[in-house]
């Protein structure tokens, strides 16, 4: 089967219709009519760097590639729009395997209302995915950047932390036992698109998705906003089962929660008066929202995130690099 | 140097301002306000598949990655807008080398008015580039697809063919001699953005850029348009010097011109009455436009491109696969 035939088969499996899409895959370019502001994000997943074939099925890899890309749009408060996928496939991969990967993507596209509008298929030495996603809002100002947190704002986080890092420990060391739900947090994260839009509507001043870990990601918000983000370690919502896995692996649960990364929860700043309404809106979506700290003016040491133990001791803002598998060093 | 510092250095070198760009690289997503219709295309370049480090500098690789992506927008008649770049870098590549690659891209971005609005940097086993480009037009109908060629339309091609394939032969066999301009056609193609827009304004009914070679690419237009594309082999504009290289390499100049690929010229269908005005508009841009055939109704054998020798003998429409280095098989 040639490239064009395989692309046609993949295309059949992917949702390609969307309100803003006028022409999908198969021409020199896809055509959209956004009718407002567009948020665009690109994300790469490389075998051996971001995932290992031994611990994930191709369907899971396809799902995660699109989900993690869409998570960046969730962090803007965007409505999901279109996805464009570059797939680099090693020679040993069969067509059936490529279609399994495509079906994983198609499932997430269907669940999130994303139209897969284009792509490119090529040979590569290892399985390589590069996903571009576009999201929409009426006006550019409707998107929530990392840079708007103001002193006095409350810091909030959705859901629970540490689950994905604990899941990674379980996947990489079969002698450990733990909840399958933790493995699921690592293998199949959910992009919180509706929650992101609700937080934007509730007046979030800054937002980011937790891909690298709270310590690092909150640091990005702090620097972009020129503020000090004071986070209470003891208030962080650590996922059930994380403490047991951490203990069995000789790790610290808090370390997994703040530096493990890949939870793809949302971390946001909200004016204090907006917190209750935001919590109510997210509760209606089945998502919890917990206040974990507040924004303070930057002091002489400059903008940064400080994660503090009760009593005032600050943890290192970026400390546990060895757990972060997603980024090159 | 970490990922974030390197990205910051790359960012400094890239043109990030653009009329439609509200927020560039550095947040979860870039923000644009297109104000009309958008054409989006993705393209991947993988070391060992699409290029070899032995025959191209990193600056050339960076230039070509962006130029070939933009060529797809030229084929839509789009105005260049934004680019998003995924860069997969092997561990052995130095920061200076990555910056050289970035400078090649920056040069093309500057020459074409493209804003580099976002990207992702990751480790990969070989140098891997995935480039997403967006182009603009007032309305979706202003873009030229592959599917609108109508019986009676003239078929036209810009510039000259075969130069890139001859350049590849020269680069891969140092015992051959030939014009450096041919090597340049292979290493540093020009995206014909202004010519594409002029052809769109002149009323082009279908258009494609010649990346795979005229035989295959005209076939895509034929199938998308449901027509028979009759192309006169003897009218094709073969680049100067191609015949000599072909002869020295034991190849056929016409074969290089129709199946070599990577010329990145534009091939379009135009109503016959629009040809003269299109030629005049392109001449003002320094680009030649030659009539090479015409569109006929598809017969019982179905939509296809036929490249005919004077006298009527048809060449195989897709025949010379071994020369096409850009696509996996």
In angstroms, the CA B33 to CA B256 distance is 42
Is-contact B264 B164, C-beta < 8 A?
yes
* CA gap A143, A83 in Å, rounded: 18
What is the pLDDT of chain B when averaged over all its residues? 91
pLDDT in tens, chain A (329 residues): 566 677 677 777 776 666 788 888 788 999 999 989 999 999 999 999 999 888 899 999 999 999 999 999 999 999 999 999 999 999 999 999 999 999 999 999 999 999 999 889 999 999 999 999 999 999 999 999 999 999 999 999 999 999 999 999 999 998 999 888 999 999 999 999 999 999 999 999 999 999 999 999 999 999 999 999 999 999 999 999 999 999 999 999 999 999 999 999 999 999 999 999 999 999 999 999 999 999 999 999 999 999 998 877 777 655 444 334 343 32
A94-102 LR contacts (CB < 8 Å, sep 24+): A95/A1, A95/A6, A95/A9, A97/A58, A98/A6, A98/A10, A99/A9, A99/A10, A99/A13, A100/A57, A100/A58, A100/A59, A100/A62, A101/A58, A101/A59, A101/A61, A101/A62, A101/A127, A102/A10, A102/A13, A102/A14, A102/A62
Q: 3-state SS of chain A: helix, strand, coil percent to 5? A: 35, 25, 35
The CATH fold assigned to B154-317 is Phosphoribosyl-aminoimidazole Synthetase; Chain A, domain 2 (3.90.650)
d(CA A179, nearest CA chain B) in Å: 31
Q: Would the pLDDT of B87 be above 50?
A: yes
Weakest mean pLDDT among B188-192, B205-209, B312-316 = B312-316
Q: How many helices (H) and strands (E) does chain B have?
A: 10, 13
Sheet holding B206-209, edge to edge: B206-209, B266-270, B154-158, B289-297, B227-232, B304-308, B314-315
Cβ of B150: how many Cβ atoms within 10 Å?
14
Assess contact for A305 and A293: CB atoms under 8 A. Answer: no
Distance from CA of A128 to the nearest CA of B (A): 8
Distances (CA, A) of A80 to A44, A70, A288: 18, 7, 21
DSSP per-residue letters across B130-169:
EEEEEEEESSGGGS--SS---TTPEEEEES-BSHHHHHHH
Contact A95/B at CB under 8 A:
no
* Total-model pTM: 0.91
A9 touches chain B (CB under 8 A): no
Task: Tell me the pLDDT tens digit for each residue of B233-272.
Answer: 999 999 999 999 999 999 999 999 999 999 999 999 999 9
Those of residues 194-253 in B touching chain A at CB distance below 8 A are 207-209, 224
CATH of A154-323, one of 3.90.1300.10, 3.90.650.10, 3.30.200.20, 3.40.50.300: 3.90.650.10
Q: In what order do the strands lie in the sheet with A289-297?
A: A206-209, A266-270, A154-158, A289-297, A227-232, A304-308, A314-315
The structural domains of chain A, with segments of one domain joined by +, span 3-142, 154-323
Phi then psi dihedrals of residue B218, to 5 deg = -65, -35
CATH class of the domain whose range is B3-17+36-142: alpha beta
How high is the ipTM of this complex?
A: 0.90
Cβ separation of A30 and B22 shorter than 8 Å?
no
**What is the model's pLDDT at position B322?**
36
CB A103 within 8 A of CB A61: no
DSSP B19: T
Q: Which chain A residue shows the shortest CA-CA distance from B2?
A: A329
Phi and psi at residue A111, to the nearest 5°:
-65, -30
What is the C-alpha to C-alpha distance for residues A58 and A109, in angstroms, rounded to an integer? 16
- Asked if the Cβ–Cβ distance from A123 to B147 is below 8 Å, we say no
CB count in 10 Å sphere of residue B182:
26
A315 min Cα distance to partner chain B (Å): 21
The answer to whether B3-17+36-142 and B154-317 have equal CATH topology is no
How many Cβ pairs closer than 8 A exist between chain A and B?
211
* A33 to B31: CB separation less than 8 angstroms, yes or no: no
From chain B, pick out residues whose CB is under 8 angstroms from the CB of A38: 31-34, 38
Residue of A35, A42, A125 to mutate for B, most B C-beta atoms under 10 A: A42
Residue pair A264/A209 in contact by the 8 Å Cβ criterion: yes
Determine the pLDDT at residue A248.
Answer: 95
Q: Quick one: pLDDT at residue B328? A: 33
- Which tokens sit at A215? 């310590």
- Is the confidence at residue B169, as pLDDT, over 80? yes
| A92 contacts chain B (CB < 8 A) | no
Query: What DSSP assignment string belongs to B30-62?
Result: EEE---SEEEEEEEEEEBTTTB-TTTS-HHHHH
Q: Which residues of B touch A225 (CB under 8 A)?
A: none
Chain A residues touching B40 at Cβ < 8 A: 29-30, 32, 82, 84, 117-118, 132, 134
Average pLDDT over residues B10-24: 74
Confirm or reject contact between B119 and chain A (CB < 8 A).
yes
**CATH 3.20.20.70 correct for A3-142:** no
Sign of the C-alpha dihedral computed for residues B56, B62, B65 and B68 taken in this order: negative
Reading across the β-sheet that carries B21-23, which strands appear in turn?
Answer: A115-123, A79-89, A128-137, A37-46, B30-32, B21-23
CB contact under 8 A, B3 and A328: yes
Residues in chain A closer than 8 A to B118 (CB atoms): 40-42
Reported as a pLDDT band with limits 50, 70 and 90, residue B311 is confident
Q: List phi, psi (to 5°) of B38.
A: -125, 135
Q: How far apart (Å, rounded) are the C-alpha atoms in residues A11 and B180?
A: 41
């Amino acid at each position: 089967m040639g490239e064009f035939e395989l692309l046609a088969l993949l295309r059949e499996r992917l949702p390609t219709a969307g309100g803003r899409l006028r022409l999908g895959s198969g021409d020199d370019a896809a055509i959209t009519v956004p009718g407002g502001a567009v948020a665009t994000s690109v994300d790469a997943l490389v075998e051996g760097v971001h995932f290992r074939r031994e611990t994930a099925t191709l369907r899971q890899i396809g799902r995660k590639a699109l989900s993690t890309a869409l998570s960046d749009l969730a962090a803007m408060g965007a409505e999901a729009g279109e996805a464009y996928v570059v797939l680099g496939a090693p020679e040993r991969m069969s067509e059936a395997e490529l279609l399994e990967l495509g079906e994983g993507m198609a499932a997430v596209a269907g669940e999130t209302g994303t139209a897969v509008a284009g792509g490119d298929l090529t040979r590569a030495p290892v399985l390589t995915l590069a996903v571009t996603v576009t999201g929409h809002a009426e006006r550019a100002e409707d998107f929530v950047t990392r840079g708007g947190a103001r002193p006095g704002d409350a810091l909030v986080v959705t859901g629970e932390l540490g689950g994905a890092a604990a899941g990674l420990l379980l996947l990489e060391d079969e002698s450990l036992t733990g909840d399958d739900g933790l493995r699921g947090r690592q293998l199949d994260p959910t992009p919180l698109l509706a929650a992101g839009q609700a937080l934007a509507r509730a007046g979030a001043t800054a937002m980011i998705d937790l891909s690298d870990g709270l310590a690092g990601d909150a640091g990005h918000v702090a620097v972009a906003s020129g503020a000090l983000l004071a986070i209470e370690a003891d208030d962080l919502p650590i996922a059930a089962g994380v403490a047991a896995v951490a203990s069995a692996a000789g790790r610290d649960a808090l370390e997994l929660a703040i530096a493990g990364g890949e939870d793809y929860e949302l971390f946001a700043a909200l004016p204090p008066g907006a917190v209750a309404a935001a919590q109510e809106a997210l509760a209606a979506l089945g998502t919890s929202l917990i206040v974990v700290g507040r924004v303070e003016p930057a002091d002489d040491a400059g903008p940064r995130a400080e994660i503090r133990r009760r009593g005032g001791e600050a943890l290192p803002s970026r400390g546990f690099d060895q757990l972060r598998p997603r980024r090159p060093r």
